[in-house]
Amino acid sequence: MRIIPGQHHRVDKFRSHRPTDPLCPGTFDPVKNHVYPAAHRRLAAALYAIPMAAALMAQRPAHYEHANADLVHAQELFDMAKYGAARYEMERVRDRIRDPHDPVRTEAEFYSAICAVRLSNDDAGQRLQAFLEEHPESFRTGAVNLELFRNWFNQKEWKEALAFAMKVDDLGLSQSGRDEFHFKRGYAYFQEEQVDPALAEFSKVKDGSSAYAPSATYYTAHINYTRKNYTAALEGFEKLQSDEAFARTVPYYIAQIKFLQGDYNALLEYTKPLLAEGGSVKSKGDINRLAGEAYYRTGQFKEAQPYLEKSVQGTGVERGDRYIAGYVFYKNGDCKKALAQFNLVASPGNQPVEDSLAQLAAYHMADCYLSLNEKNYARNAFKRAYDIGVDQRVTEDALFNYAKLAYELSFDPYNEAIIALRDYLKAYPNSGRHDEAQQFLMNVYLKTRNYEAALQALDAIRDKDPRLQEVYQELAFNRGVELYEGHKYAEAVPFFQKALVFPVDKEVNARAHYWEGECRYAMGEYGEALKKYDDIRNSSGAYATDLYEEASYSQGYCYFKLKEYAEAATSLRRYTDAPGIPKERKADAMLRIGDAYFVEKDEPTAIQWYDKAIATGTPARDYAMFQKGVCQGLQKQYDAKIVTLKKLLDEKPNSQYAADAKFQLGETYINLEKDNEALKYYKQVVDNHANSPHMRQSMLQIALIHQRQGRTEEAIAGFKAVVARYPTVDESREALAGLESIYVEQGRVAEYDSYVSSLNFVDKGSLDLDEKYYRSAEGLYQSDKCDQAVGAFDDYLAKYPKGAFTLNALFFSADCLYRAKKDADALPRFEQVIARNPAQFLEPSLVAASDILSREERWEGALSWFERLENVASTPQNTLAAQVGQMRCLKNLERTDAAGAAAEKVLKNAEANAALKQEAGLVAGLAMLARNELDGAYTRLKAVAKEGRNATGAEAKYNMAYVRYLQKRWSDAETEVFDLAKTFASYDLWKAKGFILLSDVYVQMDDRFQAKATLRSVIDHSDSPELVEEARRRLTLIEQSEVQQPNDGQ
């Protein structure tokens, strides 16, 4: 990476460092320290002496004598600085003399005012002003003007002080008095920023020997310093080095002047003793900065660092100084310290700024992060430097490196690398790195997991060269596979078709045909799927792959779905003949071949294939054994059938085909006229498989066997049990016929009539006409004329609301409406059927009703039907549907623990495919997470995330990161989010949620820079308004917390 050296954007500027206010408490005060020295007090006493007091009093009447004595006494008190007592006595003298112009009274008023000044009384200025107004001709007016000047000076009222200073004649003052007066007048000018007259006043004092000379020298030097008259300023400051009052203050100015004059060696020589251990010099931090910058300017970065480390401690450090310190640390390889300073430059007070200094700081931060192998942080810092965009050279280099890192990291959740590289190539077409950027762009296209966004970028390029065509083909194919894994088959098809727009790679061509065929099959478009599988057979790219075999397998299933069984068998045999076929898949193909021959009534050939499947030893061998037994029965090989089915029950007594096998054994023994053996197996069906579809027929067979054996009462009870369990005409017809034959044979016709009359579904008087109406509607249903059938069933239900076939009419009409997607009309009919709890129609009604309610997100109602469905399900498929339905309802109802229990059932169900097991694994993992079983939840979620790049995997991956967050394993949480964004780039919801979580991680790691950058990426790129708003909210909270707790760079 190209680093732009030496750019620090520091302007050589002097520091104004206005001298400390001499009247501010707690600071050096060159005036306060010299306001009233002893010499001044003696001067004041001489100035205010009354040498003519006796003469003034000699010619007065006697009543003046007491006033005279009091005046003399008051003057003595004044000379002794007992101003309170002196003022009291002066006012007594004033009060005794009524003539306002009397010289003695005038003297008393003068001294009283001066005492008020010395006592700092609030009315001091007022008294002095009044004296001038009342005695304008007094020889004391000069002294009063001087006092008023001092009074306003002490109150820092500089304009008023200067006004009275103009009225003072300094020729009447002693030398020390003149020094005080000129210094203070100069200081007043200085405070009023009238620098030239101030300098003139200070010049009258600085070279003298008075107490004010050092302060005058100081201010003269300071004025020269601000005017960049460094030689004169230096001369003045150096004079003060031995002065006790200034010895700790002037070294900074001397050092600063040497720095500004570029005399770095002299500066370093001067500052070494000042910065030695135990030194008491003021502005030590600034002097450290000057020494450090002097080393920096001379390229001595190692020597500069210790000084700059001290100079940037604490608050109030200027950004330019922090930048230089950061740059020195960076050049010395001390990246962690450099990052702290650069961050404060880029975001002073934790508030981002966008200027050249911030851009350079961000740029160097990026290089520091690279040195620390924190490439993602470096990427964000380069992005910041690019976004600021002040210096074009830095902007170009930052953009290139940002894009390059996005490529190298394989972490580009919002496809920013493609955007950045395209922007770079567009903005800098003549760059020396143009070809390198072009190659990076090609590689980014190939590596991206955000296939759709990459395709959109490529679609914008009109003329694609062969390299881009190849990339386009691969991206389109990968996007199709991604959608297929997410079960979005209709959306996947166009991308497989796009993969054939530029048929550069023949193998990709073949695979695109195959996966489009798989999508078509999943959507039930079997004819279209067959065409795609045929395309594979005509594709040269399939030769070096397993696609020929896989296409044959899929073709076999398509033909099976289309009921073209001979073609199905041919395709599947071609598959089983191929070498290297997985055992489970091979066994499955053999089963389907057997089924094809079975449907075609070629039982001997079917048995051969079932035997081949049994020989594989796979879990599906129980199905093969059952089907083999059925085929043997059809061939009248009853003994062989019995052996086969008994072997099935011995090997797998809990097989899902156990009830079927037992029923078939009962049927076989009936054929062999072995009623007792048949009775045993029928009873096993009734006792152990209450939800089996063979339940009614087994109960009926038991009653018939009892009838044949002459066990009449048991037969009657058995027939009545069938009628009670299956209270419809169709289902109970055979049982009623059996009862009728027994009752007639025994001459108990009246008893039979009484029993039939008690059945609410049999109306002997209208049964024939009732049945004719019903059979007419049923015929339409059986002919798939559902629209007409619904109307006919409705007519029947209106005419015979309590007819013998009302249950049938309700169910069949509901089924028609359900298939027509008229859920609102179908659901009430299914619910009426369910309410009557009929064995024949209960299960399919529960399947349909629960499906409708779940699609309408009516989770409570759906859950109730799914729970009931699980209890009555007669097929493994319906059991699975019930368990999956409960799991989904409970998850949506946020009953996490119960959802987890339902998920465990799905996971244990052999019928569940990979997608359902992945979904169940997620729900089970989330339940463990809710119970705070963090390690177990992480393990379960990790397995789910590995199952496929789909929404389920993305959600699992997000929650893996959340687990690590809860465990306070910040680095691991960060890694998980990075992997989420990389592996599941197309799932914006979970990607954006992951980044919001990552911002929380960075806050915990005290890395607000990365936290804010992460949230801004969500705000700039996420498609979810809700998550964008959440990111904005969190960004605001971080910024507010930073203002409340500003960073000080420690």
Rounded distance between C-alpha atoms, residue 1044 and residue 564, angstroms: 76
C-alpha dihedral over 239, 242, 244, 248, to 10 degrees?
Answer: 80
Residue 398 lies in a domain: yes
pLDDT at 1020: 87
Residues 6+ apart with CB under 8 A from 134: 100, 109
pLDDT at 9: 36
Residue 1032 lies in a domain: yes
How many structural domains does the chain have? 2
Residue 644 lies in a domain: no
**Residue 648 half-sphere exposure toward CB, CA atoms < 13 A:** 30
Phi/psi zone of residue 3: left (φ > 0), alpha (ψ -120 to 50 degrees), beta?
A: beta
Residue 958 lies in a domain: yes
Query: pLDDT under 50 in the chain at which residues?
Result: 1-59, 62, 1048-1050
The H helix count followed by the E strand count for the chain is 55, 0
Element (H, E) at 554: helix 547-561
Residue 1021 lies in a domain: yes
* Domain end (from 393, 425, 447): 447
Residue 981 lies in a domain: yes
Provide the terminal-to-terminal Cα distance of the chain, rounded to the nearest Å.
30
Inter-residue contact 516 to 532 (CB < 8 Å): yes
Inter-residue contact 190 to 219 (CB < 8 Å): yes
Q: Tell me how crowded residue 1044 is: count the other CB atoms within 10 A of its CB.
A: 8
* Domain end (from 397, 420, 447): 447
pLDDT at 253: 93
b (16+ CB within 10 A) / e for 942-972: bebbebbbbbbbbbbbbbbbbbbbeeeebeb
Residue 699 lies in a domain: no
Average pLDDT, the chain: 87
Degrees, nearest 5: CA angle 201-207-210: 85
Q: Which domain holds residue 1012?
A: 946-1050
pLDDT at 278: 57
Residue 429 lies in a domain: yes
Q: Is 740 exposed, middle or buried (0-12, 13-18, 19+ CB in 10 A)?
A: middle
Distances (CA, A) of 766 to 731, 736, 771: 19, 17, 8
Residues 6+ apart with CB under 8 A from 20: 27, 28, 29, 249
Rounded distance between C-alpha atoms, residue 862 and residue 848, angstroms: 10
Rounded distance between C-alpha atoms, residue 423 and residue 400, angstroms: 10
CATH code of the domain in which 1008 resides = 1.25.40.10
Which pTM was predicted? 0.62
Rounded distance between C-alpha atoms, residue 396 and residue 414, angstroms: 21
* Domain end (from 383, 417, 447): 447
